[in-house]
Chains A and B, each alone.
Chain A
Amino acid sequence: MKPIEHRIVLKNDISEIERLHDFIKQIGKEYHIKDGLLDEINLAVEEAIVNVIDYAYPDGVEGEAVINVNEENGFIKFVIKDKGKPFDPTQVKEADTTLGVEDREIGGLGIFLVRKIMDNVQYERTADGQNVLTLIKKIKEENI
């Protein structure tokens, strides 16, 4: 049996974050994800999407981000696709979280959060010009 897949198409507009939040809430219900964990997943997906909204397309150009979600063996998988300029978040230099107040830079935290929260983050640039970012997070304890 093919796993059930959920899908949402978001415009590159920051107001879409609310729709994304509602979508993640539905996902949480569907897969019985605990509140705290769901908030973390929401944050990681939001940061990844904000990155697409802010940087993938030139200013004033309308674009889309498509998210497909499914669950397999206790892991939830978000596949985020856009047709913007190539960008590999897995290659971004990690924010230095050890710095003190004066040296700490404003920004650079979004991608950092995606990578810290998710168990696995993979990036692929397809031949037909799409960024494909896959985010995987364990949502169920193993049955021992």
Chain B
Amino acid sequence: MKLIVKEENGRIIGTLEGRLDTAAGPGFMKEMEPLLKNADKQIILDCAALEYISSYCLRAFLALRKASAAKGGKIQIINMNDKIIKVFKITGFYKLFDIKND
């Protein structure tokens, strides 16, 4: 699993790749730190190459969403595949996030 973070015209773009299973969780939490630090800004999470997500890693999404809400930032998720959207729907995360589908 990989998370690449870059800044583009004042917006923070996080590109996620691979499987976010439980074993990847602690590493993912660490890789999320630059995003958490920028939670007051507009963040875009590109999930096109995200294949799988466990509850442990869903927690990291929620932590970021909470930080963003507290600091007045914005998060948008783009290109998330149907399998992961289904997990977001089951857990009620779908309505916590601004998810843009093509």
Contact = CB atoms under 8 A, between A and B. Distances in A.
Task: Tell whether A pairs with B.
Answer: yes
Nearest to A96: B92
What's the interface size class on A, roughly?
20 to 34
Interface stretch (A36-44, A60-68, A130-138): A36-44
B48 to A, nearest CB: 16
Nearest to B25: A14
B59 A109 contact: yes
Contacts of A117: 90
Contact of A104 (B21, B62, B83): B62
A82 interface: no
B22 A17 contact: yes
Interface in A38-54: 39-40, 42-43, 46-47, 50
A95 B91 contact: yes
Given A39-B52, A42-B52, A113-B90, A100 B23 contact: no
Contact of B23 (A17, A43, A97): A17
24 contacts: A14-B23, A17-B21, A35-B83, A36-B83, A39-B83, A40-B83, A42-B52, A43-B52, A43-B54, A46-B22, A46-B54, A50-B54, A97-B90, A101-B66, A101-B69, A101-B96, A102-B66, A106-B59, A106-B63, A109-B59, A110-B55, A112-B55, A113-B55, A113-B91
Nearest to A116: B90
